[in-house]
């Protein structure tokens, strides 16, 4: 097998693992990976603004609003006016949202993070360079995506 085929198979394995995890997450708690990550951030912080979520996930405010809207419809989070600044809206996890976090499978990206953190610095840098190069080869540099291994909602920034 040549290197082109080997590299395409590796990319397909990553996509397949992501698809399988996305299905498992959807079946167990009814959320996409990106929705689940928003829910985690909100729960970890007690309450959160959409701006803070967008900054932490490095995605657009519009994408966060869409994700939060879906979580609100599923009764996983609710929006509350800030008591200190009435112009600000906080997002708070509901009991159903906190239960979803408890019931969810181990997120794929957390498995990746544990193994990535165990790598030497030079290995991490080499892996990042290679992954960024692959994204560039696929003309995917300008996609607005969260640091979540998920096959769900991907939006172009253009």
116, 117, 123, 129: CA torsion to nearest 10: 60
- Below-50 pLDDT ranges, the chain: 153-158
| pLDDT tens readout for residues 81-95 | 878 887 889 999 999
Domains of the chain in start order, with CATH, are 3-156 (1.10.10.10)
Check if the beta carbon of residue 73 is closer than 8 Å to that of residue 35: no
The whole-number pLDDT of residue 154 equals 39
Q: Where on the phi/psi map is residue 105: left (φ > 0), alpha (ψ -120 to 50), or beta?
A: beta
- pLDDT of res. 22: 84
Kindly report the pTM of this predicted structure. Answer: 0.73
């Amino acid at each position: 097998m040549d290197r082109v085929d080997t590299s395409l198979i590796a990319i397909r394995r990553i996509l397949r693992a992501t698809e399988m995890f996305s299905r498992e997450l959807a079946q167990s708690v009814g959320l996409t990976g990106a929705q689940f990550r928003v829910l985690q951030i909100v729960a970890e912080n007690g309450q959160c603004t959409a701006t803070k979520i967008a900054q932490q996930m490095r995605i657009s405010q519009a994408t966060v609003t869409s994700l939060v809207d879906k979580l609100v419809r599923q009764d996983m989070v609710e929006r509350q006016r800030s008591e200190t600044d009435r112009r600000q809206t906080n997002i708070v996890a509901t009991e159903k949202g906190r239960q979803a976090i408890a019931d969810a499978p181990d997120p794929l990206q957390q498995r990746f993070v544990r193994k990535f953190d165990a790598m030497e610095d030079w290995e991490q840098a080499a892996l990042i360079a290679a992954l960024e190069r692959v994204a560039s080869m696929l003309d995917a540099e300008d996609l607005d995506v969260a640091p979540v291994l998920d096959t769900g909602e991907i939006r172009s920034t253009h």
